[in-house]
Amino acid sequence: MIILGFESSCDETGVAAVCTERGLLAHALHTQVAMHASYGGVVPELASRDHVRRVIPLAREVMRASELSLSDLGAIAYTAGPGLAGALLVGASVAQAIAWSLDLPAIPIHHLEGHLLSPRMASPCPEFPFVALLVSGGHTQLMRVDDVGSYTLLGETLDDAAGEAFDKTAKLLGLGYPGGPALAKLAEQGDPSQIVLPRPMLHSHTLDFSFSGLKTAVMTRLKDALLQPVVSPTLQADLAAATQEAIVDVLVAKSVAALVQTGLKRLVVAGGVGANQSLRKRLQAKLVRLQAQAFFPPLELCTDNGAMIAFAAAQRVQRGLADLGAQGHGFNVSPRWDLAQI
């Protein structure tokens, strides 16, 4: 079966075609980063309007690239939540309209399930069960994944997500939006040993996270620096490096603790922060010593994308977890959809 998938939960419009037998056929993605940059963050109304402009041209691009006709499609998938309500409605309404017009089933997919399963599109493919570290601008969670649709929450952030800590620190340093990649680039020029920052909940004996205190520590250090005539570029680079190291230290330590607690030997890392090279290198080095493996999605599929949504739908179809029977095409989206509810 070939599934056309739509992702529109925030500030990326993604469309992809996935075959249950052959895997990913084609995908196309438009990011709204340039549009939101002047605002320092995502503006929901602008995001929704841009999805409207982009979604159909991207769908046509995917159909051309995969050399498919509409008659080749077997189902339509879309992100139903969590995310921005208006943005979700764009992808959901387009997906449902196409499904209705072709008399095909429409499969609602949880955004985080798409991220959790996305490393299975890479080679080697992680076998079940595994521990998943989901790190993005809105989420930091550790999950035990026993199979498609079988997820157990092990720990999550109590306040800011890791990606949020990257972005807020970058904003404090005047790096603009999106902050995570900019901070990581500046960190390459800094020395993390020059500034001591906290590692929140590092020794909490739980698998939960907290990053708001780290942001506050950076803010305090900057306030002290602002008493000087000029904030040194060296200080900015050192703060970026120290922030990145603190976040990576916590993520690595908690991931290792989750593997030890569950007795599993496979760690899947997904979400936008999973593209951070320092995190990748540190995890791979640590897991080698534990005789465990780390799995990452391809860099181009770390951010939100349609491929992960179509792929998650394909995985559900293969396991009989998707309703492919006759159905109406009324729908709802769930901006605060809990993964435990699927």
What pLDDT, in 10s, does the model give residues 228-250? 545 688 999 999 999 999 999 99
Same fold, 2-116+302-341 and 127-296: yes
Q: Is 84 helix (H, G, I), strand (E, B) or coil?
A: coil
pLDDT at 225 over 80: no
Q: Which residues contact 208 (CB under 8 A, 6 or more apart)?
A: 155, 156, 157, 158, 201
Domain locations along the chain: 2-116+302-341, 127-296
> What is the pLDDT of the chain when averaged over all its residues?
94
Tens digits of per-residue pLDDT, 155-190? 999 999 999 999 999 998 989 888 899 999 999 999
Q: Is the pLDDT of residue 227 over 60?
A: no
pLDDT confidence of residue 191: 97
In this prediction, residues 222-229 reach a mean pLDDT of: 69
Mean pLDDT of the region 273-290: 95
| Region 2-116+302-341: CATH code | 3.30.420.40
Contacts of 125 (CB under 8 A, 6+ apart): 119, 295
- The architecture (CATH level 2) of 127-296 comes to 2-Layer Sandwich (3.30)
Distance between CA 132 and CA 116 in Å, rounded? 7
Among 38-47, 51-60, 330-339, the range with the most confident prediction by mean pLDDT is 51-60
CA 38, 279, 186, 247 torsion-angle sign: positive
pLDDT over threshold 60, residue 105: yes
Q: Kindly state the percentage of the chain with pLDDT values over 90.
A: 85
pLDDT recorded at residue 114: 97
Q: What is the DSSP string of 6-55?
A: EE-SSSEEEEEEEETTTEEEEEEEEE-HHHHHTTTS--HHHHHHHHHHHH
Give the mean model confidence (pLDDT) for residues 249-259: 98
| Residues facing 270 on adjacent strands | 134
Determine the average pLDDT of the residues in 27-46: 94
pLDDT of residue 71: 97
- Asked if 6 contacts 94 with a C-beta cutoff of 8 angstroms, the reply is yes
Rg (CA), the chain: 21
pLDDT on residue 304: 96
Short-list 114, 105, 107, 99, CA closest to 14: 114
**DSSP readout, 288-304?**
HHTT-EEE---GGGSSS
Compute the distance between CA of residue 233 and CA of residue 181 in angstroms, rounded to an integer: 18
Given a cut of 70, whether residue 120 has pLDDT beyond it is yes
Buried b (16+ CB within 10 A) or exposed e, 54-80: bbeebbebbbeebebeeeebbbbbbbb
